[in-house]
Amino acid sequence: MTETLVLQAHDELSAGLAAAHSEVRLASPYMGAGVLARLAQLAKASSATWRVLTKLDAAAIAHGSLSTQGLRQLLAAGVELRSLSQLHAKVFLGDDAFGLIGSANLTDAGLGGTGGKSNVELGVLLDGTQQQEASKHFDGWWGSASIVTEADIDGVEKLAKNLPTSVSAPVVDAEPPQFLEEANRLLAEARSANLWIKAVYQDEAAADLAWGAGAWFSSSKRGRPSFQVGDLVLIYAKDAHRCSAVVEVTDSPRRDPAFVVSDGRPEEEGERWPWVNDVTVRLKVPSAVGVPLSHLGFTGQSLQGGHKRLGHSEFALAVRYLAATPAGDATS
């Protein structure tokens, strides 16, 4: 057989797993929120039994390489989840008809094809005999692995918040990541701060201009929001479908519709979004090169209420993504 090489596995993996009717088996030590959210949806709609093997590792969670939000979504979708401490293999199998192995983890950067930054990866589609052999190996690993429960995820997430983590400068002679020092400060502060994601309902240009001196955001009339001084908030520019800034809340929410209108907003907007928080911008890039919302496991619909709590691993992923923005695209 002539081996079929795959540079970006997103499309092949999605199609192969969607076609499975009996059993899906996936092994990957690192798994991102966006990929896991899509896999959970596939699993819910599937007649197949789904088994996912990973490495439940506090350092990977702290780094943003393993999404606790996504792991919980898998369990909620009825997926069997286990952890193997020495796992490094990336194996994706659907029935006896689809098999893929390679270098890519179950992350958006690894699989590619999702509108964000992609790693350089290489995978191989397996023939029938190879699929059977890979299945035997998977089943052996599965038998040695430990069952993962919600309580296990809660426990390792608490450990992750106490681990030091940082964005590293390259070891070769190359440009360091943008905002390196500020990104590392944010990652350190995130261990003890409340973390949120907040939608701003402005066009892309207006959203980019808004995050300067005197920055603020407003929240729905449905009730006083729970933001506290010191909370860190990832800003989602709705029209760009990307998250482009991290801000820190600097005061308690105040009900001030007149202030919203004084900024040039329509009067009805002041009544609809009357709760105001002043913030200071900690990290910002143009919304066009921000983190795709899908990478964080959210949809625009999931943020219709305006804001949601954000997990530590998803916040770390977003900060690392923004810090790695090319110099020509960054805004200080």
Cβ-based neighbours of 7, under 8 Å, separated by 6 or more: 112, 121, 122, 123
Taking only the tens of pLDDT, the chain with its 332 residues reads 557 999 999 999 999 999 999 999 999 999 999 999 999 999 999 999 999 999 999 999 999 999 999 999 999 999 999 999 999 999 999 998 999 999 999 999 999 977 778 899 999 999 999 999 999 999 999 999 999 999 999 999 999 998 888 776 555 445 555 678 899 999 999 999 999 999 987 665 566 666 777 899 999 988 899 999 999 999 998 888 899 999 999 999 999 999 989 877 888 888 998 999 999 999 999 888 899 999 999 988 888 778 999 999 999 999 999 988 765 455 44
Encode 212-237 in three state secondary structure. CCCCEEEECCCCCCCCCCCCEEEEEE
pLDDT tens for 2-46 read: 579 999 999 999 999 999 999 999 999 999 999 999 999 999 999
**CA 297 from centroid of its chain's CA atoms:** 5
- Using alpha carbons, select from 295, 240, 261, 279 the residue that is nearest to residue 106: 295
Task: Return the SS3 of 10.
Answer: helix
Calpha distance 314→68 (Å, rounded): 8
- pTM for the complete prediction? 0.87
Show Cβ contacts of residue 27 under 8 Å, excluding neighbours closer than 6 positions.
Answer: 52, 53, 54, 87, 89, 90, 91, 92, 138, 141
Distance CA 197, CA 98 (A): 37
- Give the integer Cα–Cα distance in Å for 174 and 235: 29
Q: Give tens-digit pLDDT for 216-256.
A: 999 998 889 999 999 999 999 888 889 999 999 999 999 99
Report the chain's terminal Cα–Cα distance, integer Å. 53
Q: Which residue has the tokens 């899906």?
A: 24
- Here the tokens at position 107 are 């992350």
